[in-house]
Amino acid sequence: MDGVQYRHEWKHELSWSDLVAIRQRLRAVAESDPHAVDGKYTIRSLYFDNLYDKALREKVDGVNMREKFRIRYYNGDPSLIHLEKKCKRSGLGAKFSAPLTAAEAQRIVDGDIGWMADAADRPLVQELYCRMRSQGLAPKTIVDYTREPYIYRPGNVRVTFDYNIRTGLRRTDFLDPDCPTVPAGNAPILLEVKWDAYLPSIIRDAVQTPGRRVTAFSKYAQCRIYG
């Protein structure tokens, strides 16, 4: 597929009782992500879209090939920020990433983007610049949530629980620790399972929950429910 390493992805919407049961099974076979603090970390992302909500509409309409840009950092620490592009193709996913400084991220938020064209060492930054110029991409909304991550090394499997999903509504000042966010409606707990060529049966069995189906839930779309 065009030389890009796509990964398989499952998403399931869970209840708290589901989470507790799956967590117990996972802890018996998988390891906690070493980057987690007490088994979890917080994520703050700033998503981009254009005036016509292209990324949102493609997600809602189930467009087969789509992409979205975001900037994110972890545990309220802006010393490590990444620009990311997430691509979807036929149910598979791929992610591209480039580092940003806090000052660079703030310049993007402020609409000061001319410098991005000269970031030759970071093609993804240049690509976002081109999309902002040609398609009108701009910072759209903040998405906050808590992630509980697990790793199973055979198959390069990553399993995560995401919950406490909050939206910044139309706020884009995501580097401000006091920027208010509110619960994103009745957002569920989200289980995500990602793997390369195969999903080991031990993980497949651990994450199974009767009555739960694979979903196409999007945290960005959920955080746009208020506009």
Sketch the domain layout of the chain as residue ranges. Answer: 7-222
Question: Mean pLDDT, the chain, as a whole number?
Answer: 94
Alpha-carbon distance 22 to 105, whole Å?
37
CB 107 within 8 A of CB 115: yes
pLDDT at 2 over 60: no
More confident site: 3 or 189:
189
For domain 7-222, the CATH superfamily is VTC, catalytic tunnel domain (3.20.100.30)
State pTM to two decimals.
0.93
* CA gap 25, 30 in Å, rounded: 9
CA angle 47, 81, 86 (to 5 degrees): 45
pLDDT in tens, 68-108: 999 999 999 999 999 999 999 887 999 999 999 999 999 99
Question: How many residues are recorded in the chain?
Answer: 227
CA–CA distance, 174 with 184 (Å, rounded to integer) = 16
Dist CA 82 CA 100 (whole Å): 6
